[in-house]
Amino acid sequence: MSTTLLDRAEDRTSVSPAQWLRETTAAVRVSFTWFGVRKALTNEQKCQAAEPFGAEGDFLSARKKLLDTKHAAYKEVTAVRGKVGMYWKSLTVPFPEPGVRLIRQHEVERFNQEMAGYRTELQSAVVSLDRHYSELKVAARRRLGDLFDENDYPTTLRGLFDLAWDWPNLEAPDYLLQLNPAIYRQEQSRVAARFEEAVRLAEQAFISELAKLIDHLTERLSDNGDGERKIFRDSAITNLTEFFSRFRQLNVRSNEELDTLVERAQCIVNGVEAQALRDNNALRQHVATQFSQVQSVIDGMLVDRPRRRIIRNNQEDE
């Protein structure tokens, strides 16, 4: 594995976290081509739908579902999309530009190979879905009744689902320096500010994810109101250990308090197995108590601070 000068821990203190991020990462953007399985009703159809309610069609918003998204073949296609999203985010940190994230430069080749594999997997899943296309249309005709329109359905689904990724340049283009040095310097300042924001976004992401993982683990360690234990799955521990690994790889080392907090959380579960937590009441209580203390620190980081405003996003909860 090749490294740059700024990959060495002793050299990271010589530059700001934003500059370190700028020097050691690449921008990667992931996009999908996706056949839309929902379509808005026509004005005439909306008026018909509004009549039983005594409403006006112009004030009604309605869509019809073209395909059964619960069909196994369709779920295989969407499963690939989910895996791509998880993989992309597992190797990257946010960047303040829609659809763009930052990946460590030494991960670029591996990422490119993995994405090529996912694209092949997606294409294979679409081929399988297309084999069931006729039966899906028959089912849609039966379920939609008069709302069914053959024109809503393409001849084949092949080519209507795809995965693409690219590597956008985030730096000011060199030609600007020749055309207008002042504009070039202005663009350089804008890029620098974006990487400062990327550092803040990385902190937000790590703190929010750690808060969510600890909330889930401590909730699973508590008893039901009747004294019965709650179901405790191995993932409550493995998800935390995977987070620690990802944090070590992607941490921009911009927040000593966050570094200390993650290290403390890791020490609590270091060597602790999920089965031991299921079997040992004393261990469950000890881990729960330790994490409640970590939670109190996280709560202090999830409030307004100078230049750092971290908000827990409940919509991200599964």
For the stretch 277-306, pLDDT in tens is 888 889 988 998 999 899 888 888 875 444
CA distance 110 to 223: 43
User: Strand 304-305 vs strand 25-33: parallel, antiparallel, or unpaired?
Assistant: unpaired
User: What is the full DSSP assignment across 214-231?
Assistant: HHHHHHHHSBPTTSPBPP
Average model confidence (pLDDT) across the chain: 87
Specify the pLDDT at position 1.
Answer: 39
283 or 317: which leads in pLDDT: 283
**Range with lowest mean pLDDT among 108-122, 129-143, 177-191, 212-226:** 212-226
pLDDT tens-digit map of 74-104: 999 999 999 999 999 999 999 999 999 999 9
Answer yes or no: are the C-beta atoms of 48 and 62 closer than 8 Å. no
Question: Is it the case that residue 146 has pLDDT exceeding 70?
Answer: yes
Flag whether pLDDT at 310 surpasses 60.
Answer: no
pTM: 0.82
pLDDT band at 163 (very low <50, low <70, confident <90, very high): very high
pLDDT band at 61 (very low <50, low <70, confident <90, very high): confident
What would the mean pLDDT of 212-235 be, rounded to a whole number? 83
Q: Are 94 and 180 spatial neighbours (Cβ–Cβ below 8 Å)?
A: no
Residue boundaries of the structural domains of the chain: 5-166, 175-316
Mean pLDDT in residue range 176-193: 94
Q: To 10 degrees, what angle do helices 256-269 and 235-250 make? A: 150
